[in-house]
Amino acid sequence: MKDLRKFLVHFTLIPALAILFAFPATSFCQQTHENQEQTHEQAVDSTNTEGHGHEVAGETHACHFHSDVEEIEYDPTNTAYHHVADANVYSIGSFNFPLPCILYSKGQGWDMFSSKKFGFDFYGHGEGRKAYNRYVLDEGQVKHIADPSFPTGEVELEGFTHDVTTVDGKTVNNVYACYQGQHHLLEAQSTADGGLFGGGITNFYDFSITKNVFSMILISLLLGWAFFGIAKAYRNRGQLAPRGLQSLVEPIFLFIQDEVAKPFLGPKWEKFLPLLCSLFFFILALNLFSQIPFLGGSNVTGNIGVTAVLAIISFIVVSINGNRNYWSHIVWMPGVPAIIKILILTPVEILSVFIKPFTLMLRLFANITAGHIVVLSFVGLIFIFGKMGRSIGGAAGGLLVAAPLTMFIMAIELLVAFIQAYVFTLLVASYIGAATEEHHAEKH
């Protein structure tokens, strides 16, 4: 019963931290403000030095909303990335529902409102037909209008347009909101990567409850309801045989205990078992939830911000519980010549302390995201072969090819959902075990 209470505490804490840090983990924009201004100068004719609306220079597409275009060329790459990306609307099938937006801009302060303010299409891409306080909804994602002269409040838009420019040898895809015949540059959708993946910090921050955050809250509530119900059943039923959810969850608990905790943690397994079970069930539930067709299409564990939070939690636990022997072997390994320690072993060992959580983060993120993209790619064969409905025979052939491949990959994805939750938990247990293991001489 004591272990069960510890597990419930850990299970409540881990999703709370993941949800809390998922806000800033997706809240910083992809291009620096200076790069945005440079891109803007190259992409538009500066007809007004005060920053009023600009006409787009060069060849661009006409202003339109996606739902207003009857026939466009199918782009499988953009479609796949759109479906695995986070969004400020929650989609069930092709239907979109509003979510709370919590935004901060240096120039205008905090804005808190529902994404319904954007007047997005209930059916379709979730693209807003209105701007609100210089924010717009482009394909389900909130973006900010860089032009400070753009009016605040609700503004009816004429559509969006794109062009491509080159800045410092890099190709930049610019998006513009069309208003009264003028094109206003949008800042890139926000992501916190510190420049590692081409991102940076602009002048707005997004702390909204996005699709992924909403999914984490939903899964946490469902799992909390299930586990607190199981705890109550154990209290009321005593030593009676488990039934219902008890009979489903108990073998998994015992598996983590006997096959992960005890082999890697030795006599200290009881202390860390609640943490390991919390990580396993949280990751597994999110993985399985993302496999349900048409229900949100969330890619939570395929979001590098979420996996980073889980990896940081593991890093903190390992660092806090690491004993003297663990740190001495990292900083100054005994029995090795000093020159080898200084030049090779110590730098490598210190680097490995940070590489371990980094690989935890990337492994889970890459495996889950790759599976979603592969499924979407196979589904896209139907539209590619069918030429967007112009070829019925091609669409039928694409369906014959795509359907069995998609079903096969989805079956593999179910297996991957369990494997990745297990591997993440196993590696965390091995890192904790290495950090808490006693020296052989001390054992004797």
Q: Residue 183: CB partners within 8 Å, gap ≥ 6?
A: 44, 53, 54, 55, 56, 60, 63, 161, 176, 177
pLDDT for res 428: 94
Candidates 169, 204, 171, 210; CA nearest to 186 is 204
pLDDT for res 360: 92
pLDDT for res 186: 86
pLDDT for res 2: 56
Angle at the Cα of 96 from the Cα atoms of 91 and 97, rounded to 5 degrees: 100
pLDDT for res 56: 44
Candidates 270, 234, 231, 276; CA nearest to 256 is 276
Running DSSP on this structure, what letter comes out for residue 29?
Answer: B
Q: Note if the pTM is more than 0.85.
A: no
Determine the straight-line distance between the first and last CA of the chain, rounded to whole angstroms. Answer: 33
pLDDT for res 27: 45
Note the residue count of the chain: 444
Q: Block means of pLDDT (10 residues each) for the chain, length 444 residues?
A: 60 66 47 42 40 45 62 62 79 84 85 90 79 88 86 88 72 82 78 53 79 90 90 82 84 92 90 92 92 78 88 92 84 74 81 91 89 79 65 72 80 90 94 82 45
